[in-house]
Structure 1
C-alpha cells in the first residue's frame, strides 16, 4: 500500500474505533446489560487499536538519532 491508501485506511479504522466507543457506552447505559456483546465489542476495539498502531508505525517509522 502507498502512503495515501494507508492514511485512508487509518482514518477508517479510527472512525470505527470511535463508533465502537459509542456503541459500548450505549450498551452500558441500556437497562439490560448484554455483557457478552460488550465483551465482543471491546475485543474488536482492541484489535482495531492494534491495527491503527501498525499503520501509524508504518507511516511514522522510528528514527534512530
Structure 2
C-alpha cells in the first residue's frame, strides 16, 4: 500500500499547474529551494508545486554598456 501511494505521488507531480522544473528556473536566474525562499529572495514560480519553490533575488545588478 505504501509503494502504491509513493508511485501516485510521482505520477501526480507533472499534473500540477504552474510547475516549470529546475531547468527553467535556473535559466531565468532563479534557484530551486525546498520549503521557503531565504531572506532577500522572492517566490517567482514553482520548480515542483507545492514543495519546491523557484526563488529569485530581490536585488538585480544590471550592467549597461
Identify the TM-score tier after normalising by the shorter chain. under 0.3
TM-score scaled by structure 2? 0.27
Which structure exhibits the higher relative contact order, with contacts defined as CA atoms closer than 8 Å and separated by 6 or more residues? 1
TM-score scaled by structure 1? 0.27
